[in-house]
Amino acid sequence: MIILYYIESLLTFTFALLLGSFYNVVGLRVPKGMSIVAPRSHCTSCKTTLTGIDLIPVLSYVFSKGRCRYCQQAVSPIYPLFELLTAVLFVLAPLLMGWTYELVIAWTLISMLIIIVITDIHYMLIPNKILLFFFVLFILERIFIPYQSIPDHLIGLAVGFAIPFLVALVSKGGMGGGDIKLFAVLGFVLGWEQVILTFFLASLIGMLVAIVGMLFGKIKKGVPFPFGPSIAAAALISYFTGERILTWYFSLLF
């Protein structure tokens, strides 16, 4: 059983590394209206088309010491970081929830959040195309793998949309439209209780990021910064541990 576990984890990790590489392409190209299949991957500096040896997730970056093999220009560490992050999260998911049908939802959620973080970091944008694609996918998955009843998921969608929308209304633009729509999708997936928790945690994480960023001079007061990574982190915390957090919280009240 132990050997089987390690084999499953290794296969999952390897497959997720490849997915992470693909998600980098999606996250970088979709916001620019580019095809995700053409042109082929190339160095952004010298425009040389990359070969298979240049595209091995993480390893190509390590062996080339973070530089293009052709022009020696530095390659952003963001590429291997998100490949590795995707793989780690894909392996952690079955450890946290077991090999159940719900794992399909977990991997889909991780995939969406990875892509969204990439787009938000690079362009301060959460594309409608990506949200719509995953929303339709989540609807289909929740029909066959329900967490709650479909009406409950729709209530979650409404709550997920309403809270950030009201915040944006009151703050007169303090939250972007992409963030609002992302919360709506998360509300459908997680349900209304956990999407409220996600909003609270995202606000807390975002505040901490802002404080640390300002201390190190990376974020300036009054200047917008990507909120997508904070939402993504909060959504994963809520999804995997939300029930325990809520149970603990309500135990303090009653």
| Residues 131 and 167 sit within 8 Å (Cβ to Cβ) | no
Domain boundaries, the chain: 1-99, 101-254
Q: Distance between CA atoms of 82 and 20, rounded to whole angstroms?
A: 6
Q: Distance between CA atoms of 200 and 221, rounded to whole angstroms?
A: 21
Q: What is the DSSP string of the chain?
A: -HHHHHHHHHHHHHHHHHHHHHHHHHHHHGGGT--SSSSPPB-TTT-PBP-GGG-STTHHHHHTTTB-TTT-PBPPTHHHHHHHHHHHHHHHHHHHH-SSTHHHHHHHHHHHHHHHHHHHHHHS---HHHHHHHHHHHHHHHHHS-SS-HHHHHHHHHHHHHHHHHHHHHTTSSS-HHHHHHHHHHHHHH-HHHHHHHHHHHHHHHHHHHHHHHHTTSS-TT-----HHHHHHHHHHHHHHHHHHHHHHHHHH-
pLDDT at site 218: 81
**φ, ψ for residue 74 (rounded to 5)?**
-60, 140
Tally of CA atoms within 13 A in the half-sphere of 67 that contains its CB: 6
| Residues 185 and 132 sit within 8 Å (Cβ to Cβ) | no
pLDDT at site 1: 66
Tens-binned pLDDT, residue by residue, of the chain (254 aa): 678 778 888 999 999 999 999 999 999 999 998 988 877 887 778 888 888 888 889 988 888 888 888 888 888 889 999 999 999 999 999 999 988 999 999 999 999 999 999 999 999 999 999 999 999 999 999 888 887 778 888 999 999 999 999 988 887 766 788 999 999 999 999 999 999 999 999 999 999 999 998 888 888 877 788 999 999 999 999 999 998 988 887 777 76
Task: Report the predicted TM-score, pTM, of the whole model to 2 decimal places.
Answer: 0.93
Token pair belonging to 235: 């959504």
